[in-house]
Every structure is written in C-alpha cells, then in structure tokens.
Amino acid sequence: MKKALLLKALIVIFAVLFIDQFVKIWIKTHFFYGEHIHVLGISWFQIHFIENNGMAFGMEFAGNYGKIFLTIFRLIASSGIAYYLYYLIKKQANSFLIITIALIFTGAIGNILDSMFYGMMFSESTGFDKAVFMPEGGGYSAFLYGRVVDMFYFPIINTTLPQWIPFIGGSSFEFFAPIFNVADSAITIGVFILLIFQKRLFKPKQAVEDMPSIFEKEE
C-alpha cells in the first residue's frame, strides 16, 4: 500500500515537473521577451512570454535581497511540504490528499528551479534576442538570481468601467490579468482542492489519530 501511494506521488511529481520545465524551456528559447500569440485565434487565451523576480502569477518581490530571501523561504517551505508528504505516505493517508500535496510540492519546486538555475543556464531574453541554452559566455545572472518564466495569459474581460462607478469609473479593468505557468497552476489547483474537499480529506477522527505530537515521549 505504501509503495502504491509513493508511486502515485512520484508520478504526479515527475509528470508535472517535466511538463512545467519543458514548456518553460521551449518558450524561453523560442519567444522574444514580451512576445505573445493568440491560441487558436482566441483573444482571451494567449501565450505571453514574461519573466519575474518574485512570487507566483507574475508578482514581484523587492530587490535582490528580497529575491534571495524568497528563494530561501521557498526551499524551507518545500522541505516542510516534502516531509508532510512523506508523513502522509507513511501513514497511508487518503490517496487524493497525497496527490494534492504532491501537486503543491511540485509547483513550488518548479519555480525554485527557475530561480536557482535559469540565470546560469540561459542568455538574456530581450525583445530582439531569444535566449540561448548554455551560452558560451555564461548566463544572464548568478546562482539563485534566475527569473521565473511565465506564459499563460487569460484576459477574459478587458474593458473600461462605466463613468458612474464612484472613484474608479472610467478606468480600465481586466480579468484575469496575471500571467502564470504550469507550476503556478499546480499550486493553485492543489490549494483549491484542499479548500473545497477539506472535510473529506481531513476527517476529524483521522486527523486526531494521525496527527504527530511534539509531546509524545519514547517509552
């Protein structure tokens, strides 16, 4: 049973991580920075290549020190998630819960890889030059200073708000504005599953019986 649960978790981890990195590398080496295309001619479904220094969905985090802090925080958080995943497998928890935690873990790892290694692995992406994998002159930045690659853009609503709306009338409004990647999607899906199905995934009796306690003493 434990081997079966471990296999499910590993399949999710390696499958999502492969897709995430494959898409990012392909986009980075085939698109100019800022280039975008409409998928199947649909205006609200776009591939739009950007990079960011910070958090998920293209959000930024202040400066170089902030970036190092964020990367280290991600590593610590991912280690905690990995331990929790190991604990769930060891306790033979709900397989759906294990898959969900594996999604969140993989999403975190996917973006960590960008931050840690992409700066050394690729040349700079610009509006005039596509990135080159493992360039002779070295990458665009040092270890831990890589930028996260984002590409999925869904501007479903792009309009101007009516003038009669107080304070914000006449301003532009866009939904959904963030540009994201496969790793971001994995984290988001995992979190939504936890929120929606938490009663099924965390049964009170099971949660109490399986919860490790810091007060337990070895006999």
210 is catalytic: no
20 is catalytic: no
Catalytic residue among 20, 114, 129, 150: 150
Catalytic residue among 114, 129, 184, 210: 184
One-letter-per-residue 3-state SS of the chain: CHHHHHHHHHHHHHHHHHHHHHHHHHHHHHCCCCCEEEHHHCCCCEEEEEEECCCHHHCCCCHHHHHHHHHHHHHHHHHHHHHHHHHHHHCCCCHHHHHHHHHHHHHHHHHHHHHHHHHHHECCCCCCCCCCECCCCCCCCCCCCCCEEEEEECCCEEEECCCCCCCCCCCEEEECCCEECHHHHHHHHHHHHHHHCHHHHCCHHHHHHHCCCCCCCCC
Q: Which residues are catalytic?
A: 150, 184
